Structure 1
Amino acid sequence: MAKILDCTLRDGGYYTNWDFDKSLVNQYLESTNNLPIDYLEVGYRSIPMKGYLGKYFYCPIYELEDIRKRSLKKIVIILNEKDIRVEHIKDLLGPIVGLVDMVRIAIDPEYLGRALVLAEGVKKLGFEVGFNVMYMSKWKQYGDFIKELKNVDGIADYFYMVDSYGGVYPEDVIETMNLVRENTKCKLGFHGHNNLELALINSLTAISQGIDIIDATIWGMGRGAGNLKTELLLTALNSKEGLDVDFNALGTVVNSFDTLLKKYEWGTNLPYMISGSNSLPQKDVMDWVTTRFYSFNSIIQALQNQKAKVEDNERLPIFESTESIDEILIIGGGKTAVDHAEGVMEFILSNPNMTVIHASSKNASHYNTIPNKQVFCLVGNEGHRMEQVFDNFGNFEGICVLPPFPRKMGTYIPSTVREKCFELPSVEFTDKFKDSHTALALQTAIFLNSSKVFIVGYDGYQDVQLSQKERDLTEENETLFSLFNDNISPLTSLTPSVYKKLKFDSVYSYIYEK
């Protein structure tokens, strides 16, 4: 029977930024003590990196000491080869000798030779060594990589085939195992991602072919589409191979991760399926799906551009304005733009020279009768949303603006408004979030040389319990508002909002005497 390595805390950290509640970790350790799992990979050991990364990205000594006391399993940490060199080994690994049993190394096939040097230093400290070699579906593209595998003998205890893109099939597993075995005597492991929901059958195939060790995570928690589910593997092996499983302990640990699953909603979806089947990186997809409000069509367009190795699929005329607009109103997608639409309409109609910019088309139907000049920002799924908002574009009098070329997410434009679409020449007031709805709306206001910018429908999120996506969007908008306020002109919200960087007035104070 193959050994089982559970790497929930390490791989799941891509969603939690490597922070886990201590009580959850303790429950995880207690439950896995009663399960037929051989190794627990609890996180990275890393040199200091920029930005915030949590406890299990660094695995401080006190935490490893506590884990060692609580767990009956072999403990594993992983090094990211691209960041770690031989000179780091003493400080990173010296203090944890006796606390950790195995050190795995995440390796780009292109740098196998460099990893071998690093692994020799790790091996001298007495650790088991695992090679997690990424991009399994592309190994044949790496020149002499396969021939170099003979150098792994005597250094690595386990050589892992990592299906980084989640796109291999059972026959690929068999072919690759045979290929590796022809070139090294090292024990083999398999780490399957679940983009195409093949992680289980690929892992069972590897086991049937005599694989020595298999990775899995609770609920499949892991980067992008996630991994083989530990509970699914154990259940299958219990049925197929008679593996003794304490299902009470298994149920307890699975239930303890329910809250995180509901919060982060990892797992496969259409963009992950496409990225997996075409061996495209999951990093961008994970960002687009979990932290940005892009539609599947936008994401798929971006993936198709990556596959075709093109920057974008269309250039547009440059948006230009020779006139200065005294006042601009930016309408967001928040509920207050609907709740106060009658008052906002009165405000707009009393200012016939005011230009209205729709950062989102979500609320545009409430303002489609105004005679004022209107600009629509096409970002992400806005082209498709406009088709839903405007049943008939026959009376569409606005213009559309898009981010500068090249657009990472590609370009979708409703055919009926194509002749009224332009791209901004640049986004200058910020170097962050340049392809967001808010950045596009604010930069358009700058190009229109407006002396005063009002905002409605930027409510923010009132609920204390924000999802990560909502929290990220709030921080993104606050950053953009702050940059605009500090460098361009004050932004005034005329409807209720929780954004702290906005100045506040009431739309009703502007129409009081009208």
Structure 2
Amino acid sequence: MTSILDCTLRDGGYYTDWDFEKGIVDDYLDTMSQLPMIEYIEIGYRSPAQDKYLGQYFYLPIDTVKYIREKIDHSKKLSIMINTKDCTSIEQLEYLLSDCIGYIDLVRFAVSPANFDHALNLANKTKDMGFEVALNLMYVSQINNGDIKSYIDQIVTGAPRTDYIYLVDSFGACYPEEVKKKVRIALEASNIPIGYHGHDNIQLAFANSIASEEAGAVIIDSTITGMGRGAGNLSTELFCSYISNKKDLVIDYSRLANIVERFTEIKNEYGWGTSLPYMISGLEKLPQGEIMRLLSMKRYNTNSIINLLNEKEEKILPDDEDTFKGIETLDFSNTVLIGGGKEVAHNIEGLLSFAKKTNTAFIHASLKNLDYFMKKDVTNIVCLPGDELNKLGKYYNKDIIYLISDKQPNKVDDNIIKMPNVFILTDEYLPNLNEFTFDPPLLMALKAAFKIQGSSIFLAGFDGYDQETEANKYLREENQQIIDVYNKNFEHKLISLTPTKYNIKVKSIYSLIVHGVING
């Protein structure tokens, strides 16, 4: 009988930062223990330290592992995953796994073609330590059948004790006949059992899992309610019901329904599952992680996202160089970059007073606080990232300077480009930060501030977030990374003039009003 590896806590963590309430984990483990077709429960990652917050089920403290081991039915096996790219040495692997001996049964490695040889070395050492091993070959929709055989041959030669080889449809782009063919090729090349992990971008995770089973795969991945990165996975409740019907196995549907209901509540908050952009990402074989990030930020519409990921950017610099306007023609002593936080409203009088005393321009990385600065005899420069450019015709104001990127996902009207108060930003404005894609608002504001002659750069209204959602998690991480990279590359560090949760130096706007910028 085909068995199931349920990886809800591991794959679902992409939405919760690997934090789950203890009560729901207990109910989940009890349910998994009662389902006869569940062979493995994958409880998370075991990871080296990362430079951002990730929760309990990303690191799996040994007390957590022991608790789960004691709680689940003794017939179930526990699995963990290690990202091959994060585990850089055999010594690091030993450190991660040594205290798991006797508690964890299966160690799986996420393997991309780029780090294949390293994965084989890690697999061999893991077998030496007494664990079962699975190698999860990612991006199989991008790998032709001849190369599938080549990778399997390398595993047979380089890590012959491997217990499972997984084919992972990372982009959710495969069709059932394609899955069957790849599984059969893998089986013909090796006696190692084959597993399958599908994503549901084009709603074929269930059909593809059945196809993999029919072709000879012996273990299938799934998650409760399909919880998982991007469009999600095969749902455990669906595949358990399918196996129950096919093999005439008795399962407790009431218990299963209860845990589905618990996870549905989480789904209502985070909203995993396929959508038109995820469907297109599957059909176009695009990375769903980027789709997930861009959708959450709500900065681009669907057409723009697809064009960006397909690298179909419109270069909008005018052919006639006389029409090009550079922001460096402006001259201010200081610039204050304005975010969308509430601290702007709390400190608006101080910000306006500072601007009038010190020849300061305000560069708005968000439109949320712009109204506080209108008709106040100050210079307002507004960044229009993503599809904000589309609002220019409706909200145009001759007293505002507008900034647009020279790379746009859609064609821009020439009349907009030639407006006298529209300035075009290019990568050369801040070359040290070109690693960031799609011109985030804070980066656009920094590019402008960096080019304004004699400008000291401050931030205001970049408050951070009291309650983190999927959308503001990406925004927080993006802003902090931009701040960190800027401060690393430039002598004059960024300073916030209002309270903030970001890791940045803070000075009071009122101190600068009284004592000045130099002595403040």
Is 2:49 the counterpart of 1:43? Answer: no
Cα drift, residue 164 of structure 1: 0.8
Aligned 8 A contact 2:201 2:274 in 1: yes
Aligned to 1:6: 6
Match of 2:287 among 281, 286, 298: 281
The answer to which of 200-209 and 14-23 deviates more is: 14-23
Separation of aligned partners in 1, 2:139 and 2:220: 17
Matching of residue 436 in structure 1 with residue 413 in structure 2: no
Q: 1:504 to 1:235 in 2, by over 3 A?
A: farther
Which of 118, 123, 138 does residue 119 from structure 1 map onto? 123
Q: Residues 128-162 of structure 1, C-alpha deviation per residue, up to 9 Å, x if partnerless?
A: 22221111112218x65514524545522222111
CA distance in 2, matches of 1:479, 1:236: 45
Residues 262 and 288 of structure 1: is their aligned pair in 2 closer, same or farther, counting only changes over 3 Å? same
Alpha carbons of 1:89 and 1:488: their partners in 2 closer, same or farther (altered >3 Å)?
A: closer
Distance 2:14 2:362 in 1: 40
The match for 1:92 is: 96
User: Structure 2 residue aligned with 1:164, among 142, 145, 170?
Assistant: 170
User: Are the structure 2 counterparts of residues 501 and 367 from structure 1 closer, same or farther at C-alpha, using a change threshold of 3 Å?
Assistant: closer
Which residue of structure 2 aligns with residue 467 of structure 1? 469
1:60 corresponds in structure 2 to 61
Q: Distance in 1 between matches of 2:97 and 2:334?
A: 61
Give the deviation of 1:372 after TM superposition.
8.0
Cα distance between partner residues in 2 of 1:48 and 1:287: 22
Distance 1:301 1:238, change over 3 A: same
Q: Deviations over 1:258-298 (max 9, x none)?
A: 44323332222333222222222233333323357444343
Match of 2:329 among 319, 322, 326: 322
Mapped partners of 1:156, 1:104: distance in 2? 10
Deviation for aligned residue 1:223: 1.9
Q: Distance between the aligned counterparts of 1:332 and 1:59, measured in 2? A: 36
Contact 1:157/1:186, CA 8 A, preserved across alignment: yes
Go from structure 1 to structure 2 and tell me whether the alpha carbon gap of 1:383 and 1:184 turns closer, same or farther (over 3 Å shift).
Answer: same
Tell me, in whole angstroms, the C-alpha distance in 2 between the residues paired with 1:27 and 1:260: 14
Stretch of structure 1 that moved more, 25-34 or 326-335: 326-335
One-letter amino acid of the structure 1 residue matched with residue 56 of structure 2:
K
| TM-score relative to the length of structure 1 | 0.78
Kindly state the Cα deviation for residue 215 of structure 1 after the two structures are TM-superposed.
0.3
Q: CA deviation at 1:371?
A: 9.7
The structural deviation recorded for 1:3 is: 0.2
Offset of residue 465 of structure 1:
3.7
SS in 2 for 1:156: coil
Spell out, residue by residue over 1:203-232, the C-alpha distance to the aligned partner (whole angstroms, 9 max, x if none).
122233342111001121222222111122
Distance in 2 between the 1:414 and 1:370 partners?
A: 31
User: 1 or 2, which has the higher helix percentage?
Assistant: 2
Inter-partner Cα distance in structure 2 for 1:238 and 1:438: 53
Preserved contact between residue 103 and residue 130 of structure 1 (Cα < 8 Å):
yes
Report how far residue 102 of structure 1 moved. Answer: 1.6
TM norm structure 2: 0.77
2:266 is the counterpart of 1:260? yes
Q: Displacement of 1:70 after TM fit?
A: 0.6
Contact 2:342 2:463 in 1 (8 A): no
Secondary structure of the 1:321 match is: helix
Contact 1:189 1:211 in 2 (8 A): yes
Distance 1:273 1:396, change over 3 A: farther
Match of 2:152 among 130, 142, 149: 149
Give the distance between the partners of 1:478 and 1:183, measured in 2 at CA: 47
Contact kept, 8 Å, 1:481 with 1:502, in 2: the verdict is: no
Secondary structure of 2:274's aligned partner? coil
Deviations 1:328-370 (A, max 9, x none): 78666678999999x99x99xx99x986644345677999999
1:224 and 2:230 equivalent?
yes
Over the matched positions of the two proteins, sequence identity in percent amounts to 35
Which residue, 161, 176, 183 being the options, matches 2:182? 176
> Unaligned stretches of 5+ in structure 2?
318-323, 511-520
**Do structure 1's residue 137 and structure 2's residue 137 form an aligned pair?**
no
**Which residue in 2 is equivalent to 1:418?**
417
Deviation at 1:195, TM superposition (A): 1.3
Tell me, what secondary structure is at the counterpart of 1:33? Answer: helix
For 1:381, what is the secondary structure of its paired residue?
Answer: helix
Q: Output the amino acid matched with 1:416.
A: N
Relative to 1, partners in 2 of residues 1:168 and 1:94: Cα closer, same or farther, differing over 3 Å?
same
Aligned partner of 1:298 among 272, 284, 304: 304
2:452 to 448, 468, 480: 448
Between stretches 171-180 and 442-451, larger displacement belongs to 442-451
Instruction: Tell me whether 270-279 or 419-428 shows the greater mean CA deviation.
Output: 419-428
Partner amino acid, structure 1, of 2:268: K
Paired position in structure 2 for 1:510:
none
Q: Distance in 2 between matches of 1:248 and 1:66?
A: 25
**Alignment of 1:74 onto 2:81:** no
Q: Match for residue 512 of structure 1? A: none
Partner secondary structure for residue 327 of structure 2: coil
| Deviation at residue 169 of structure 1 after TM alignment | 0.8
CA-CA distance at 1:5 after TM superposition = 0.6
Question: Which shows bigger deviation, 231-240 or 366-375?
Answer: 366-375
Q: What SS does the aligned partner of 2:386 have?
A: coil
Show CA shifts across 1:430-454 (max 9, x none). 7897832234235424533477989
> Which segments of 5 or more consecutive residues in structure 1 lack a partner in the other structure?
506-514
Please name the residue that 1:511 is paired with.
Answer: none
Given that 1:361 and 1:386 are in contact with CA atoms closer than 8 Å, whether structure 2 keeps it comes out as no
* Residue in 2 that maps onto 1:509: none
Number of aligned positions between the proteins:
489
Higher alpha-carbon deviation: 171-180 or 147-156: 147-156
Q: 1:426 to 1:61 in 2, by over 3 A?
A: same
Task: Tell me, in whole angstroms, the C-alpha distance in 1 between the residues paired with 2:120 and 2:364.
Answer: 55
Relative distance call for 1:264 and 1:504 in structure 2 (3 A) is farther
1:27 partner amino acid: D
1:151-182 superposed Cα distances (whole Å, 9 cap, x missing partner) = 54552222211101111011111121222222
The aligned residue for residue 34 of structure 1 is 34
Please say if residues 362 and 385 of structure 1, whose CA atoms lie closer than 8 Å, have aligned partners that are also in contact. no
Report the CA distance shift for 1:149/1:467 in structure 2 as closer, same or farther (over 3 A).
Answer: closer
